[in-house]
Amino acid sequence: MLDTWTKVDEYLGDLLSPTDEDLEAALQANEKAGLPPIDVSRLLGKFLNLLVRISGARRVLEIGTLGGYSTIWLARALPEGGRIASLESDLHHADVATLNLHNAGVLDRVDMFIGRAIDSLPILEASGDGPFDLIFIDADKESYAEYLDWSLKLSHPGTVIVADNVVRDGKVVEPDNADPRIQGVRRFNERLAAEPRLSATALQTVGPKGYDGFALAVVLR
Ligand code: SAH
Ligand code: DHB
Ligand code: MG
């Protein structure tokens, strides 16, 4: 099936989410710098871009920058004066991202926070940068549930929360899976379901990187 998923991703991607020099350059720079190829797909990048537009978000929070590929998609949708705070713990990743964002002409809209997200989030809160209109969670899966708590703290009614990788090849349904990342995603999904301030759904996705999915939530109150 992977072959079909890849072909369809290319077909739809070419039509609806065409790549361009800046996006390609970012992916090539990532590869050259040895970053893992775990960026969002271009169709998911376009989805994030559309979510920013649909929600009218002006302040975006991203947890997990990698080389800034998703950051570029998010930044391109911002209105004049809109800003993204992007959190990354790996200095090398953050360096590569900074150059990619500069080359893509969006660095002036991005505030990079280098350090473990769990340490940067209180700093972000204290700095008064929030509340955020859209939050994209895509860092270490073990901490997703804590990131959801922080997202609520840094949100307002109407804030959109998106979390990548909540299906993990279907392993998410295995309660006894020993992988702490699977357990992390399970805790996240359960907290999402239990939180009365949120209304959420999750969608399964397939593509060139296999089978995964994302959760989408809105803050009600
Ligand atoms: N959003 C990116 C992909 C992010 S990959 C894109 O789609 O282009 C996940 C990133 O989270 C990696 O760069 C990893 O270094 C970072 N990360 C892992 N643990 C982290 C932590 N505790 N705090 C902040 N970032 C972390
Ligand atoms: C991994 C992380 C991601 O954010 C992703 O989209 C795919 C894989 C990982 O850590 O393996
Ligand atoms: Mg991801």
- Report the C-alpha gap between 51 and 15 in whole angstroms: 19
Q: What's residue 137's pLDDT?
A: 99
Q: Does ligand 1 come within 6 angstroms of the Cβ of 212?
A: no
* Nearest residue to 107 via CA among 135, 137, 139, 71: 71
If one residue of 46, 120, 140, 185 were mutated to test the ligand 1 pocket, choosing by the most ligand atoms within 8 A of its CB, it would be: 140
Q: What's residue 72's pLDDT?
A: 98
Three-state DSSP class for 134?
strand
CA of 166 relative to ligand 2 center, distance in Å: 10
Domain carrying residue 98: 2-219
Q: Does ligand 2 come within 6 angstroms of the Cβ of 140?
A: no
The per-residue pLDDT for range 162-194, each reduced to its tens digit, is 999 999 999 999 999 999 999 999 999 999 999
Q: What's residue 138's pLDDT?
A: 99
Residue whose tokens read 């970053």: 35
Residue of 35 and 1 predicted with greater confidence: 35
Q: What's residue 144's pLDDT?
A: 99
Q: Does ligand 1 come within 6 angstroms of the Cβ of 117?
A: yes
The per-residue pLDDT for range 66-123, each reduced to its tens digit, is 999 999 999 999 999 999 999 999 999 999 999 999 999 999 999 999 999 999 999 9
- Report the C-alpha gap between 200 and 136 in whole angstroms: 14
| Ion ligand 3, residue ranges at CB < 5 A | 138, 164-165
Q: What's residue 204's pLDDT?
A: 98
Where residue 101 sits, what CATH number does that domain have? Answer: 3.40.50.150
Q: How many domains does the chain have?
A: 1
The angle formed by the CA atoms of residues 105, 51 and 128, to the nearest 5 degrees, is 70
In the 8-state DSSP scheme, what is residue 84?
Answer: E
* Protein residue closest via CA to atom 3 of ligand 2: 38
Residue whose tokens read 């739809």: 12
